[in-house]
């Protein structure tokens, strides 16, 4: 069995131990990387992905080849089912999988040998039956034509030919037993002259009509005797004579010369034909070897001669015409021992292996006898076979690489949902190096900077790369998504609120995956979003092929490898010497006075890996998007009767009607009615039910989708009923949306405004828009466009909210409420970020805090945002929100140590101002 490349765990003899080692080392790698990131102060959103990637890398490295033999066996078994037994499994492991591969190879070799014997037997039988059948046919034709009279002699000749056919069939069966190792050759003393004379006489009977002559000569001595298998040697001599007669000219003579030669004897058969060309004689003994003027022969004649000679411990070769030779014709020389070794029971011999034969230029073939209507047709050419030495024994079968690509584990994992067209996508150097460059750009720009221009630049660079690689870059939806993504990226420069940046990035990611995959339905969009994460796995084969192809570059990889090793050496030894020697440490401090080399390098390395990996995964998703069109909900069964869906929807409509009646009673009854009925104020009651109304709106949309999929639309009556019922339900839902928005307004007027309440208002308003879109789709009975419209509208809502500065708007509403009611929630205002600072300064600048000294204003108490001194404030880190906050003036009060927030060293700011 051929050996696969050595792999890390090949020496482990148990698959269970391998799995244990793999899991242990993977966890250890993740822990080490996580600990390095933690000690360097790297945030979790960077250290966790890198730790997971380190564990997966160790797992992939150690698991190489553990299951490859199993996948190879799957392919090989399929080929064996089609009759190809030449494949072998390449495995180097010593565990149970490797042992299974060895057993599979042994089985393959045994099946291949059995199949070869069957094919060779059929070919040999068809070849050997042709000569006696041709002789018998010639005799019968002469009898029919009256050339020969049907006397005793002619009938005796026909009988002898029939007997020879029977004997030949029996001999071939015996020969198959010999080859299978279940019989022995019958060696006996034979007079060489008698055997040759008998063979020559039979040949003369066949070729007399063509004027050929056969001469037999036995030299030194004439009574030469050898120990041979008479039947096998007769078979070989007959084939030599037949081949020589075929290529001898009209009235030519075939010479047979036998002579003693030391401890053995030799036999030479020559004709007067064109002879063998120099350098090509060995091809004459190849099985199925034919020339350019092949006359339909199978090419088995001389190959069988070699087979018989090897069984007797001898050799056979063709004598070529040397320079200056005066002889003409082809001569085949057989050399045999006088007393060959006894053929042992169980010894297995094989016929000469088939070889690729180049057509001869002399017009000769190894066996192109004329074919008559009674001649057995040639067997179809067999595939190239190996001899026993080439194939190997049962203990150590030789292996050839599996002839078809072995399916990777990722092809098996993702199946038809995510195929990889290697013919079109063999390598992707642009995606690889551009992703590495984008990661490097992020590593240089992002660390130690707040959200601002640098983040937007990295996002735009990554987006441009992904759009460039996408095959859908000219689709209207892709262009619209790109425009929305640019708008969302601008929020990183305009607003300083981190929560708004996170929402913008998540929405942009959903837009990107939907555009790259072409998803239309909700399940397809969810699958597309998950595909970005899974691209890190699905793209590993392409990444491996690209790195392998790039590594062949004679200059690039040596330069990169040398630079990486030099950098690591500089960091390791430079850090050791800088920390171990004060002088070296002072020099390093002078060169890098404000930079912690270790922590900065770790942070930038983590940033490089995470950003580069995210961009590379997006590039793969762009180059090879999954088949999201196959991800869809199964077609539900449609009820046979309309009332089966009308009744449940009617119950939902009835509950909506009851709710609206209750709202009308509360509205007309006023606050007193609500307090008498519930024991709560109106503001308290509306706050209690806002979340339930939002959930009811979302569930209504789900109900409409389910009913729209299940209800029948075959007849006009069905369509009218569907439009009416769902239209009524959507109309009532819009009323509920209005009620929910009114409830939130009342509650905010009573208890104040917050960013969360504003975002919930926006979400409820967006749900109302979705209800309107669903109503339009229901009227048209076509809703395939709704998911994309919902996503685009949601992104637009978020962009508008971001541009409107939600934190500043909430701060202004609270300041207006303070002006009207005299009540101000300072604790909440202190939780707002830099975007609210200018509004708070402008609105509360003239208000002095009650009980505060040293002229502390309400603005001083209400501002909680403090600039981060660790962030680099330069052109790349510029942000409009932080810039305006700096210009307005951040908080000037310092919290007192040991006191709970918001107690300050200068004065005492009240939590709530006013009565």
How does pLDDT run across 117-138, given as a tens digit for each residue? 777 767 767 776 777 777 777 7
Best CA proximity match to 420, nearest among 408, 404, 437, 402: 408
Confidence of residue 809 (pLDDT cuts 50, 70, 90): very high
Strands 225-229 and 264-270: unpaired
Rounded Cα–Cα distance for residues 613 and 617 (Å): 6
Best CA proximity match to 66, nearest among 103, 92, 104: 92
Lowest mean pLDDT among 32-41, 524-533, 791-800: 32-41
Show the tokens assigned to 78: 């399929």
Show the tokens assigned to 335: 């050399």
Residue 547 has pLDDT above 80, yes or no: yes
Specify burial of residue 113 (Cβ count, 10 A radius: 0-12, 13-18, 19+).
buried
Residues of the chain above pLDDT 90, percent: 16
Most confident of 251-260, 416-425, 462-471, 857-866: 462-471
- At 453 the pLDDT is 93
> Which residue's structure tokens are 């990183």?
492
Higher pLDDT, 320 or 737: 737
* CB 824 within 8 Å of CB 884: no
Best CA proximity match to 354, nearest among 318, 383, 378: 383
Strands 253-261 and 213-219: parallel
Domain boundary assignment for the chain: 15-113, 160-382, 412-630, 643-736+752-773, 808-888
- At 240 the pLDDT is 87
Residue count (the chain): 915
Q: What is the 3-state secondary structure (H, E, C) of 584-595?
A: HHHHHHHHCCCC
Residue 516 has pLDDT above 70, yes or no: yes
CA 152 to chain centre: 78
Rounded Cα–Cα distance for residues 90 and 4 (Å): 5
Residues of the chain above pLDDT 70, percent: 74
For residue 546, say if its preceding peptide bond is cis, omega within 30 degrees of 0.
no
Strands 213-219 and 331-337: unpaired
Best CA proximity match to 85, nearest among 106, 107, 101, 108: 108
Looking at domain 160-382, its CATH class is alpha beta
Show the tokens assigned to 428: 């992707």
- At 480 the pLDDT is 94
Higher pLDDT, 377 or 480: 480
Rounded Cα–Cα distance for residues 359 and 373 (Å): 27
- At 477 the pLDDT is 94
Higher pLDDT, 296 or 337: 337
Rounded Cα–Cα distance for residues 418 and 414 (Å): 5
Best CA proximity match to 607, nearest among 49, 31, 29: 49
- At 711 the pLDDT is 81
- At 618 the pLDDT is 94
Confidence of residue 370 (pLDDT cuts 50, 70, 90): very low
- At 327 the pLDDT is 54
Rounded Cα–Cα distance for residues 551 and 523 (Å): 40
Rounded Cα–Cα distance for residues 754 and 748 (Å): 8
pTM (2 d.p.): 0.63
- At 206 the pLDDT is 67
For residue 329, say if its preceding peptide bond is cis, omega within 30 degrees of 0.
no
Higher pLDDT, 94 or 687: 94
Model pLDDT for residues 280-307, shown as the tens digit of each residue: 666 677 654 444 343 334 455 777 788 7
Show the tokens assigned to 45: 């959103």
| DSSP per-residue string spanning 294-334 | --S--S-HHHHHHHHHHHTT-EEEEEPPPTT----S-EEEE
Confidence of residue 393 (pLDDT cuts 50, 70, 90): very low
Rounded Cα–Cα distance for residues 627 and 516 (Å): 11
- At 377 the pLDDT is 33
Most confident of 116-125, 126-135, 261-270, 341-350: 261-270
Tell me the longest C-alpha to C-alpha distance in the chain: 149
For 320: left if phi > 0, alpha if psi spans -120 to 50, otherwise beta; the answer is beta
- At 532 the pLDDT is 92
- At 456 the pLDDT is 94
- At 686 the pLDDT is 57
Phi, psi dihedrals of residue 247, rounded to the nearest 5°: -110, 10
Residue 369 has pLDDT above 60, yes or no: no
Show the tokens assigned to 303: 């190959």
CA 821 to chain centre: 66
Q: Helix H segments across 679-785?
A: 682-710, 716-751, 755-780
End-to-end CA distance of the chain: 92
Confidence of residue 179 (pLDDT cuts 50, 70, 90): low
Neighbours of 749 (CB within 10 A): 14
* CB 878 within 8 Å of CB 453: yes
């Amino acid at each position: 069995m051929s050996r696969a490349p050595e792999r890390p765990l090949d020496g482990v003899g148990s698959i269970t131990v391998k799995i244990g080692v793999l899991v242990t080392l993977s966890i250890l790698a993740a822990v080490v990387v996580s600990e390095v990131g933690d000690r360097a102060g790297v945030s979790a959103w960077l250290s966790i992905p890198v730790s997971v990637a380190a564990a997966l890398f160790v797992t992939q490295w150690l698991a190489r080849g553990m299951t490859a033999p199993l996948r190879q066996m799957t392919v090989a078994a399929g080929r064996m089912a089609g009759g190809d037994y030449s494949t072998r499994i390449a495995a180097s492991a010593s565990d149970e999988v490797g042992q299974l591969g060895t057993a599979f190879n042994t089985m393959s070799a045994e099946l291949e040998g059995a199949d070869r014997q069957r094919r060779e037997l059929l070919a040999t039988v068809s070849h050997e039956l042709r000569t006696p059948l041709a002789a018998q046919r010639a005799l019968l034709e002469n009898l029919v034509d009256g050339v020969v009279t049907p006397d005793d002699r002619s009938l005796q000749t026909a009988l002898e030919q029939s007997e020879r056919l029977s004997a030949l069939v029996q001999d071939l069966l015996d020969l198959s037993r010999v080859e299978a190792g279940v019989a022995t050759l019958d060696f006996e003393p034979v007079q060489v002259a008698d055997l040759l004379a008998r063979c020559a006489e039979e040949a003369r009977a066949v070729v007399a009509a063509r004027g050929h002559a056969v001469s037999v000569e036995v030299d030194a001595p004439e009574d030469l005797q050898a120990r041979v298998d008479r039947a096998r040697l007769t078979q070989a001599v007959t084939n030599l004579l037949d081949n020589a007669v075929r290529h001898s000219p009209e009235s030519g003579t075939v010479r047979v010369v036998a002579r003693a030669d030391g401890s053995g004897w030799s036999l030479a058969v020559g004709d007067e034909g064109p002879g063998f060309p120099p350098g090509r004689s060995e091809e004459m003994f190849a099985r199925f070897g034919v020339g350019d003027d092949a006359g339909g022969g199978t090419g088995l004649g001389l190959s069988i001669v070699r087979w018989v000679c090897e069984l007797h411990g001898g050799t056979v070769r063709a004598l070529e015409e040397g320079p200056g030779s005066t002889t003409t014709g082809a001569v085949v020389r057989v050399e045999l021992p006088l007393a060959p070794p006894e053929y042992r029971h169980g010894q297995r011999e094989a016929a000469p292996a088939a070889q690729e034969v180049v057509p001869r230029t002399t017009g000769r073939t190894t066996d192109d006898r004329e074919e008559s209507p009674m001649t057995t047709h040639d067997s179809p050419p067999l595939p190239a076979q190996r001899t026993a030495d080439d194939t190997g024994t049962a203990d150590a079968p030789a292996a050839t690489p599996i002839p078809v690509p072995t399916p990777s584990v990722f092809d098996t994992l993702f199946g038809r949902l995510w195929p990889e067209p290697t013919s079109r996508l063999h390598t992707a150097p642009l995606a690889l190096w551009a992703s590495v460059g984008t990661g490097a750009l992020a590593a240089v720009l992002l660390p130690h900077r707040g959200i601002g221009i640098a983040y937007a630049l990295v996002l735009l660079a990554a987006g441009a790369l992904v759009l460039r690689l996408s095959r859908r870059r000219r689709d209207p939806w892709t262009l619209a998504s790109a425009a929305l993504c640019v708008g969302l990226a601008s929020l990183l420069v305009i607003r300083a609120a981190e929560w708004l940046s996170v929402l913008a990035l998540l929405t942009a990611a959903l837009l990107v995956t939907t555009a790259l995959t072409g998803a239309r339905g909700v399940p397809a969009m969810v699958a597309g979003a998950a595909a970005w994460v899974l691209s890190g796995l699905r793209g590993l084969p392409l990444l491996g092929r690209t790195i392998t192809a790039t590594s062949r570059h004679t200059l690039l990889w040596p330069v990169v490898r040398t630079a990486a090793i030099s950098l690591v050496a500089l960091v390791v030894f430079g850090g050791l010497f800088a920390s171990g020697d004060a002088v070296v440490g002072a020099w390093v401090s002078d060169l890098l006075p404000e930079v912690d080399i270790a922590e900065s390098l770790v942070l930038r390395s983590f940033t490089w890996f995470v950003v580069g990996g995210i961009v590379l995964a997006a590039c793969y998703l762009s180059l090879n998007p999954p088949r999201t069109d196959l991800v869809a909900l199964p077609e539900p069964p449609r009820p046979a009767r309309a009332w089966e869906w009308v009744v449940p929807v009617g119950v939902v409509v009835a509950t909506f009607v009851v709710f609206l009646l209750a709202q009308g009673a509360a509205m007309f009854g006023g606050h007193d009615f609500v307090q008498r009925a519930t024991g709560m104020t109106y503001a308290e009651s509306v706050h209690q039910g806002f979340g339930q109304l939002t959930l009811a709106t979302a569930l209504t949309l789900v109900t409409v989708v389910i009913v729209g999929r299940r209800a029948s639309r075959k007849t006009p009556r069905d369509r009218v009923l569907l439009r009416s019922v769902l239209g009524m339900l959507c109309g009532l839902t819009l009323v509920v949306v209005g009620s929910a928005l009114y409830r939130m307004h009342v509650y905010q007027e009573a208890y104040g405004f917050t960013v969360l309440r504003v975002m919930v208002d926006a979400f409820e308003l967006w749900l109302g828009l979705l209800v309107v879109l669903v109503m339009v789709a229901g009227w048209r009975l076509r809703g395939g466009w709704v998911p994309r419209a919902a996503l685009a509208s949601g992104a637009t809502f978020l962009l508008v909210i971001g541009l409107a500065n939600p934190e500043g708007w909430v701060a202004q509403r609270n300041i207006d409420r303070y002006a009207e009611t005299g009540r101000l929630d300072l604790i909440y205002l202190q939780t707002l970020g830099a975007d609210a600072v200018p509004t708070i300064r402008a609105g509360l600048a003239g208000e002095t805090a009650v009980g505060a000294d040293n002229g502390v204003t309400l603005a001083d108490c209400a501002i909680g945002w403090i600039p981060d001194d660790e962030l680099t404030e330069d052109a790349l880190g510029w942000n409009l929100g932080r810039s305006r906050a700096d210009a307005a003036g951040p908080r000037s009060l310092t919290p007192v140590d040991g006191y709970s927030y918001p107690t300050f060293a200068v004065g005492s700011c009240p939590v709530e101002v006013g009565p």
